[in-house]
């Protein structure tokens, strides 16, 4: 006999770093200039609720400070600033201890009216680094800011060998070492389903089972 079961599966990570993202993590911050790979200055900071790099601690310019949050990086300016065009003129941020999920994107989130030439900003990333080339960007004056968004890859579930009465294999990737993972399932819909960990919205996935 063969039958098809349509199930909704959900993953809930218990590892704090997956929900808190950069907060509490150790990050390398490097001003890269005049080309990618050339480090003008570097700092190692722990991400907290305060500003990680005050203008007085940035060696080569006192016109801005850098604040890191859970999933964003914000540059705040205290004076008019013009970022000279070169092969690369910007900042790179690195997960120094490799404790965060893989970075999946880095992009402009928002900026004040005084920030100009944002269309020329080029961003990039790999699993544990993200960067933006600000060459050509202009800043009208004190109070202007630009915020960059850091996206992290979440958990991914794959299933194989699901046969009625047999053993199957569920594989989870994207979790952190030592973290806990809860696998939930529903045969009645996507939810939200109330659990001991709070309401869970299940992502729908069809599983073919046979016996």
pTM above threshold 0.85: no
Which pLDDT tens digit goes with each residue over 117-138? 999 999 999 999 999 999 999 9
Q: Which position has the higher pLDDT, 74 or 11?
A: 74
Which tokens is 123 given? 């961003």
pLDDT at 201 over 70: no
Task: Report whether 129 contacts 103 (CB < 8 A).
Answer: yes
Which tokens is 83 given? 């970022």
What is the share, in percent, of the chain residues with pLDDT greater than 90? Answer: 61
Which pLDDT tens digit goes with each residue over 99-111? 999 999 999 999 9
Confidence tier at 210 by pLDDT (50, 70, 90): very low
Task: Report whether 169 contacts 159 (CB < 8 A).
Answer: yes
Position 162 scores a pLDDT of 67
Q: Over 13-73, what HEC string results?
A: ECCHHHHHCCCCCEEEEEEECCCCCCEEEEEEEECCCCCCECHHHCCCCCCEEEEECCCEE
Which pLDDT tens digit goes with each residue over 38-88? 999 999 999 999 999 999 999 999 999 999 999 999 999 999 999 999 999
Strand partners, 8: 186, 204
pLDDT at 11 over 60: no
- Token pair 């065009």 is found at 85
Task: Report whether 28 contacts 44 (CB < 8 A).
Answer: yes
Task: Report whether 201 contacts 189 (CB < 8 A).
Answer: no
Position 134 scores a pLDDT of 98
- β-pairing verdict for 90-95 and 72-77: unpaired
Kindly give, in sequence order, each residue whose CB lies less than 8 Å from that of residue 119, ignoring residues fewer than 6 positions away.
Answer: none
Boundaries of every domain in the chain: 2-16+154-210, 20-152
For all residues of the chain together, what is the average pLDDT?
A: 82
Which tokens is 98 given? 């490799």
| Centroid of chain to Cα 11 | 18
Task: Report whether 58 contacts 65 (CB < 8 A).
Answer: yes
Closest to 146 (Cα-Cα) out of 185, 184, 120? 120
């Amino acid at each position: 006999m063969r039958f098809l079961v349509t199930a909704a599966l959900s993953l809930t990570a218990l590892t704090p770093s997956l929900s808190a993202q950069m907060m509490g993590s150790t990050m390398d911050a490097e001003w890269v200039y005049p080309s990618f790979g050339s480090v003008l200055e570097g700092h190692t900071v722990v991400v907290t609720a305060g500003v990680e790099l005050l203008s007085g601690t940035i060696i080569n310019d006192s016109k801005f400070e850098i604040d890191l949050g859970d999933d964003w990086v914000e540059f705040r300016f205290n004076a008019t600033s013009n970022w000279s065009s070169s092969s690369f003129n910007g900042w790179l941020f690195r997960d120094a201890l490799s404790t965060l999920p893989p970075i999946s994107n880095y992009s402009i989130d928002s900026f004040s009216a005084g920030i100009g030439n944002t269309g020329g900003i080029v961003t990039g990333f790999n699993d544990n680094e993200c960067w933006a080339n600000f060459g050509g960007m202009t800043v009208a004056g004190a109070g202007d800011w630009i915020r960059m968004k850091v996206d992290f890859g979440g958990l991914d579930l794959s299933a194989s060998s699901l046969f009625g009465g047999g053993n199957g294999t569920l594989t989870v990737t994207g979790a952190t070492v030592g973290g806990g993972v809860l696998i939930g399932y529903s045969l009645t819909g996507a939810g939200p389903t109330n659990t001991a960990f709070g309401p869970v919205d299940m992502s729908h996935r069809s599983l073919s089972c046979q016996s």
